[in-house]
Amino acid sequence: MVGGGIGAFIGAVHRMAAALDGEIELVCGAFSSDPEKSKASGEALYLPPGRVYKNYEEMILAEKKLPEGERMDFVSIVTPNHVHFGPAKMALENGFPVICDKPLAFDLKEALELEELVKETGLLFALTHNYTGYPMVKQARAMVRRGELGKIRKVVVEYPQGWLSTKLEDTEQKQASWRTDPKRSGIAGAMGDIGTHAENLAEYITGLRITELCADLTAFVEGRLLDDDGNILLHFNNGAKGILHASQISAGEENDLNIRVYGEKGGLEWRQMEPNSLIIKWLDKPMQVLRTGVGNLQPEAQAHTRIPAGHPEGYLEAFANIYRNFAVCLRAQLQGKEPDPLYLDFPTVSDGVRGMQFIQKVVESSQSDQKWMAF
């Protein structure tokens, strides 16, 4: 693991998700840019001192020298955005597959270089757009792909939060501090942090690609350097139209990622804060509520359902589905076998490039007098 040391939020989430199925074991790490903090983090995680490194460069080179079967099998990168590219690039160049937190990189140039490296090396690369891991998101995707809703006409996706309604970064709160800093976060704030989740979810469920967008970004909190709210009109490659809203100043909201997709025959609705339910609304018959683990769901949903019906399939389980699928595919690759196609379902480096293109075009659109921009 690169990053995720003492006091980090997302690193602990990655470790819990990776460990959930007993498929993956944390064997080494460079947990902080501060060597002493990395050492202390390694001790807290009960790792041997010799497998706790001062930095990711030392870790990758030292692990590469170990015999096969002893060295790490892949690298998990859980740092702020500006420290994704370096360890990902070096890991790939030295033969190690990668799981990386989103967004993929600091900017589009870095993202495209990583995509090219993945193509050259043939190594596995997963991006933790964790919301795609929910069983009912996979049910929604399978229903759309099988044409049950008919041709898709309209997509509405929203991700409102309220945690940055005040200038929290001035209190030295760690997450607020780096996520609102252009030097560490990149050119976008809320839109890069959570807007990319909304963009990815819309394309994942519908199988469509955004081709044009018209964006309006705002930093409502005085003195904030990056956007904390955004509203975007979308055009998709099949002629469908869409609306994407992402905000971190929607006071009182927690993590209310939600999506509605409407086709010629019916529509669907899913909410992250009630993830076990998928609402289906038909043009000519009564509304249905599909539930995780209940009835004859699509194989894609069944394969990612972990616990009996009536027990919430939550954030960690969705995260863990990405790690589990990655592990299954990596094991198959190491054994020279073809993995079950059901487990090839995890976000890739190309999804990360889409996210970085989205961020760039949204910022360009918001700053331009031009109404629509090609994506």
CATH code, domain carrying 66 = 3.40.50.720
pTM of the shown model: 0.95
Which of 70, 104, 128 is where one domain is finished? 128
Looking up residue 195, the CATH number of its domain turns out to be 3.30.360.10
Rg (CA), the chain: 21
Co-location of 78 and 166 in the same domain: no
> Is a pLDDT exceeding 90 seen at residue 11?
yes
In a domain, 2, yes or no: no
> Is a pLDDT exceeding 90 seen at residue 305?
yes
Nearest-CA neighbor of 349 among 236, 200, 232, 210?
200
In a domain, 34, yes or no: yes
Which of 85, 108, 128 is where one domain is finished? 128
Tokens representing 213 are: 């967008």
Co-location of 65 and 182 in the same domain: no
In a domain, 327, yes or no: no
Beta bridge partners of 155: 242, 261
Co-location of 40 and 141 in the same domain: no
Beta bridge partners of 23: none
In a domain, 160, yes or no: yes
In a domain, 275, yes or no: yes
In a domain, 252, yes or no: yes
Co-location of 166 and 268 in the same domain: yes
- 7 pLDDT band (50/70/90 cuts)? confident
Residue pair 309/291 in contact by the 8 Å Cβ criterion: yes
Please give the pLDDT value at position 8.
87
Co-location of 206 and 286 in the same domain: yes
CA distance 207 to 202: 8
Which of 66, 95, 128 is where one domain is finished? 128
Which class for 9: exposed (0-12), middle (13-18), buried (19 or more C-beta within 10 A)?
exposed
Beta bridge partners of 268: 261, 280
- 313 pLDDT band (50/70/90 cuts)? confident
Co-location of 169 and 302 in the same domain: yes
Please give the pLDDT value at position 240.
98
Residue with tokens 């909410």: 271
Co-location of 162 and 298 in the same domain: yes
In a domain, 52, yes or no: yes
**Count of domains forming the chain:** 2
Residue with tokens 């359902």: 305
Co-location of 117 and 154 in the same domain: no
- 231 pLDDT band (50/70/90 cuts)? very high
In a domain, 281, yes or no: yes
- 336 pLDDT band (50/70/90 cuts)? very high
Co-location of 142 and 207 in the same domain: yes
Range of the domain at 172: 132-313+351-367
Amino acid at position 159, single letter: Y
The kind and range of the H/E element at 244 are: strand 241-247
